[in-house]
A and B are shown apart, each in its own frame.
Chain A
Amino acid sequence: MTDPFILRALLASVGVAIVVAPLGCLVVWRRMSYFGATIAHGGLLGVALGLALDIDLTLGVVLVALALGGLMLGLGRQRAVPADSLLGILSHAALAGGIVAAAQLSGQRLDLIGYLFGDVLAVGTSDLVWLGAGGIVVLGVVGWLWRTLVAVAVHEELAMAEGLPVRIAEAALVLLLALTVAIAMKIVGVLLIVAFLVMPAAAARPFAGTPEAMVGLAAVIGALSSAAGLGVSIGIDVPAGPAIVLVMSAVSAASIVWQSLRRD
């Protein structure tokens, strides 16, 4: 268990779980999981863009995720198509476009499965640096805007009438989701990022009395599930990202069952 690649995998998956905990709670509170999934699905398109322009792939992912987020914010006001249908269109268009573009550009070079499902055991030092730096930015901005972000999650209109910087918080949330996708993609893959966001937060909800307690619990649940999932992955030789997500879903299911039993 002391192999450096295992240590890096452990650091990366636990790190991602901690960094996404506050965003995950915000996504759960604001019912934005489909929004998050759409941004995540743009990740592959971002990789293709990075390859095409010969720029850093992470930068490409951030750019595409930002463009998608901006597009969704802009289209959020239209009434022609229901919001979730719009997300369904954008989300899968981005995913299909990303797969086609990546295949076209790179032929056999690109590890498509790795980008879709993540390859935590292949995480390198530069990925960890991205995670560390990106994580500090994400947590810093979340901390700075926390009161407004919580107020908007509770009641957007009230927050706006009270003069809180609602629009800034909204734009920041999209920016942060984009950054998160970029730094977590290599580790968990575009298809499973939303699981990292939503599952620990949902599992933490019944045990939390304050927004901060829910974030803290989500971070703990996410980190422990990551370590456990990684252990399972190495033990029985299955892909690490999906193994972690399976552990997280088991914890979420247990939490939901516990909550509904307690209510009766």
Chain B
Amino acid sequence: MRRLPNGGRGCDVTTADGRTSGAAGGHDHHHGAHHHTHHDHGSGCDPSVVTPPDPKALLSGRGITFARGGRTILDGIDIDVRPGEIVTLIGPNGAGKTTLVRTLLGLETPDQGTVMRRPGLVVGYVPQRFERDAAVPLSVARFLTLGKPVVRTTVAAVLDEVGAAHVIDRQLVKLSGGELQRVVLARALVRDPDVLVLDEPARGVDHLGEAELYALIGRLRDRRGLGVLLVSHDLHVVMAQSDRVLCINRHVCCHGVPETVAQHPEYMRLFGTAARAFAIYQHHHDHEHALTGEPLPSSSAHADTNR
């Protein structure tokens, strides 16, 4: 990728409440703060900094702190997922990505901090590992209706949306890895969720399948106006689809639009050579996001780097 100009855009780090600043000069005060820790960003580690929750957010975490066996896994993490927005969570192994996701889903209770969901929020969840159990005889159609009973036409439509219409009557255990991936995604979608949470959905899928999967997630966001929270350890394919990236290693190391995070010293330090080899797979945004009501900050960045 072309190096970004070293101006304001290179420091377009979001404020602690996750608001991505698009306004000129709105990021100037972050300039030169790169070598500081997250405390200086006000990311919530300092308990005296109280960040008001984003009113537009579907799902928010404030000051999420989580410890197990005397080891701090998460330390004061702030996160917001808003409608029509893809937020990608990256970080090295053991950074606490899955724990954060599980906490936001209510599967774990944080030691400190709060999780806020918009009332009546419907969450679609694609867990990190889906192990099929041959003990239970189950067709794909039946699997999709386990969480919420829906009619067969809905099941068929959702399977079609994820490109797995042909497996509707197949037994779950007979699916290939790629088909299973899509079917698990379909189970999340059949609930007509407001927010989709995917924990390393491309694990165990080859690179082509991975690129396809991320493109599909992007299309789903566009079509349904979903908020998406995506966990990934893969820096190569995922970031271009993201509106915001949150790089965590127990605490929030840096966050912002993908290009910004890729240039961030904390990110460079965490990922080392992998970060240097980083290349954003670009695509054009040829649409507006009516739900957010504002142009995505990443659109201009994309236009900038995309020849």
Residues of A within 8 A of B (CB): 28-29, 31, 147, 150-151, 153-155, 157-162, 164, 205, 208-211, 213-214
Given A147-B149, A210-B142, A161 and B137 contact (CB-CB distance below 8 Å): no
Chain B interface helix/strand/loop/mixed: loop
Q: How far is the CB of A216 from chain B (nearest CB, A)?
A: 12
Check if B105 sits within 8 Å of A154, measured CB to CB: no
Given A210-B139, A210-B142, A158 and B133 contact (CB-CB distance below 8 Å): no
Pick from B136, B139, B148: contact of A150, CB under 8 Å: B136
Pick from A29, A158, A209: contact of B135, CB under 8 Å: A29
Alpha-carbon distance between A160 and B191 when the two chains are bound, in angstroms: 14
Alpha-carbon distance between A170 and B171 when the two chains are bound, in angstroms: 26
Among B9-17, B21-29, B122-130, the stretch in contact with A: B122-130
Check if A154 sits within 8 Å of B136, measured CB to CB: yes
Alpha-carbon distance between A212 and B105 when the two chains are bound, in angstroms: 30
Whether a CB of chain A sits under 8 angstroms from the CB of B106 is: yes
Check if B171 sits within 8 Å of A209, measured CB to CB: yes
Alpha-carbon distance between A38 and B150 when the two chains are bound, in angstroms: 38
Alpha-carbon distance between A159 and B136 when the two chains are bound, in angstroms: 15
Alpha-carbon distance between A162 and B107 when the two chains are bound, in angstroms: 10
Q: How far is the CB of B18 from chain A (nearest CB, A)?
A: 23
Whether a CB of chain A sits under 8 angstroms from the CB of B146 is: yes
Pick from B105, B130, B133, B138: contact of A210, CB under 8 Å: B138
Check if A164 sits within 8 Å of B147, measured CB to CB: yes
Given A160-B107, A161-B106, A161-B107, A29 and B136 contact (CB-CB distance below 8 Å): yes
Chain A interface helix/strand/loop/mixed: helix
Which A residues lie within 8 Å of B143 (CB)? 154
Given A155-B130, A161-B125, A162-B191, A214 and B137 contact (CB-CB distance below 8 Å): yes
Whether a CB of chain A sits under 8 angstroms from the CB of B244 is: no
Alpha-carbon distance between A209 and B136 when the two chains are bound, in angstroms: 9
Q: Which B-chain residue is minimally distant from A79 (CB atoms)? A: B69
Q: What are 15 A-B pairs at a CB distance below 8 A?
A: A151-B147, A154-B133, A157-B107, A157-B127, A158-B187, A159-B146, A160-B106, A161-B106, A162-B123, A162-B147, A205-B135, A209-B139, A211-B136, A211-B138, A211-B142
Alpha-carbon distance between A161 and B138 when the two chains are bound, in angstroms: 20
Q: Which A-chain residue is minimally distant from B149 (CB atoms)? A: A147
Q: How far is the CB of A221 from chain B (nearest CB, A)?
A: 15
Which B residues lie within 8 Å of A209 (CB)? 137, 139, 171
Alpha-carbon distance between A44 and B206 when the two chains are bound, in angstroms: 55
Beyond known contacts A161-B125, A210-B139: 16 more, CB 8 A cutoff: A147-B149, A150-B136, A154-B143, A158-B125, A160-B107, A161-B107, A161-B123, A161-B127, A161-B197, A162-B125, A162-B147, A205-B135, A208-B137, A209-B171, A211-B138, A213-B137
Given A205-B135, A209-B171, A211-B136, A158 and B142 contact (CB-CB distance below 8 Å): no
Interface size in chain B (residues, C-beta < 8 A): 23
Alpha-carbon distance between A164 and B127 when the two chains are bound, in angstroms: 16
Q: How far is the CB of B119 from chain A (nearest CB, A)?
A: 13
Q: Which A-chain residue is minimally distant from B136 (CB atoms)? A: A29
Alpha-carbon distance between A161 and B106 when the two chains are bound, in angstroms: 7
Which B residues lie within 8 Å of A157 (CB)? 107, 127
Pick from B127, B133, B146: contact of A147, CB under 8 Å: B146
Check if A161 sits within 8 Å of B105, measured CB to CB: yes
Q: How far is the CB of A161 from chain B (nearest CB, A)?
A: 4
Pick from A31, A154, A164: contact of B138, CB under 8 Å: A154
Q: How far is the CB of A131 from chain B (nearest CB, A)?
A: 28
Q: Which A-chain residue is minimally distant from B171 (CB atoms)? A: A209
Q: Which B-chain residue is minimally distant from A160 (CB atoms)? A: B107
Alpha-carbon distance between A160 and B133 when the two chains are bound, in angstroms: 17
Which B residues lie within 8 Å of A158 (CB)? 125, 127, 130, 147, 187
Complex interface bits, B182-194 against A, C-beta within 8 A gives 1, otherwise 0? 0000010001000
Complex interface bits, B107-145 against A, C-beta within 8 A gives 1, otherwise 0? 100000000000000010101001001011111001100
Complex interface bits, B169-180 against A, C-beta within 8 A gives 1, otherwise 0? 001000000000
Q: Which B-chain residue is minimally distant from A201 (CB atoms)? A: B135
The 4 closest A-B pairs by CB, nearest first: A162-B147, A161-B125, A151-B146, A208-B137
Alpha-carbon distance between A31 and B133 when the two chains are bound, in angstroms: 11
Check if B127 sits within 8 Å of A29, measured CB to CB: no
Which B residues lie within 8 Å of A210 (CB)? 137-139, 142
Alpha-carbon distance between A209 and B105 when the two chains are bound, in angstroms: 32
Q: Which A-chain residue is minimally distant from B134 (CB atoms)? A: A205
Q: How far is the CB of A59 from chain B (nearest CB, A)?
A: 33
Which B residues lie within 8 Å of A205 (CB)? 135, 137
Name the residue among A151, A158, A164 with the largest chain B CB count within 10 angstroms. Answer: A158
Check if A29 sits within 8 Å of B147, measured CB to CB: no
Alpha-carbon distance between A85 and B274 when the two chains are bound, in angstroms: 44
Which A residues lie within 8 Å of B147 (CB)? 151, 158-159, 162, 164
Alpha-carbon distance between A31 and B136 when the two chains are bound, in angstroms: 11
